[in-house]
Amino acid sequence: MSALEVSTLVIAVVGAVTGVAALATQVWGLLIAGPRIKVTVANALVPIGGPGGSLTWALSLDASNVGRLPVTILDAGTTFRAGREWKKAPLGMMPADSWHGDRAPYRLADGEATTWILEPVTLAQAAEENRVRDVYGYVRLATGKTVRSRKPIDIINLATLD
């Protein structure tokens, strides 16, 4: 094999490897470029009765679209694990005066976020009935995927903060 043939072979192998790597990068980029939602729950101090009113503790449920495409949220709420089963408390099933925020379905553009404020007392009662303390937030997307918050919040403790 001559030097020219060896150098041609090396260049061809390098080109093939970099081409496959570029293709894999493009495919990976397309897969993660879709809608990606981050859900968090936290405690929030909210005013009651307008400006100058008293403050009370509430549960804040936040959904942020950290992906590059818009997504439709079909349902949101809290969920907890009772035994081996996950139980949900969707916002649509709660009394209308126990939460504030956007009604579902809700279109969340890329880079946007939405927040729901929930009264913790009703949720704490349901959690106590099932002998749990920690609740997670969740959103159900039009893609069929349900995204749950990574960290829970102690709803029993939050409900007793007043």
Give the residue extent of every domain in the chain: 1-32, 37-159
Query: Are the C-beta atoms of residues 134 and 73 closer than 8 Å to each other?
Result: no
Residue 50 has a pLDDT of 67
pLDDT at residue 98 in the model: 84
Tell me the pLDDT of the chain (162 aa) as tens digits: 888 888 898 899 999 999 999 998 888 877 666 678 999 999 988 887 767 778 888 899 999 998 878 899 999 999 988 888 888 889 888 888 888 888 878 898 888 999 999 888 888 888 888 888 899 999 999 888 899 999 999 888 888 886
What CATH number is given for 37-159 in this structure?
Answer: 2.60.40
Relative to beta strand 55-65, strand 37-47 is: antiparallel
User: Which pLDDT does position 97 carry in this prediction?
Assistant: 82
Write b or e for each residue in 4-17: b if 16 or more Cβ atoms lie within 10 A of its Cβ, otherwise e: eeeeeeeeeeeeee
Give dist(CA 105, CA 19) in Å, integer.
Answer: 42
Q: Which long-range contacts (CB under 8 A, 24 or more apart) does 118-123 make?
A: 118/58, 118/59, 118/60, 118/61, 118/78, 118/91, 118/94, 119/58, 119/59, 120/57, 120/58, 120/59, 120/155, 120/158, 120/159, 121/159, 122/94, 122/95, 122/98, 123/59, 123/78, 123/89, 123/155, 123/159
Alpha carbons 14 and 8: distance in angstroms, whole number: 10
Amino acid identity at 51: P
Report helix, strand and coil shares of the chain as percent, to nearest 5: 30, 40, 30
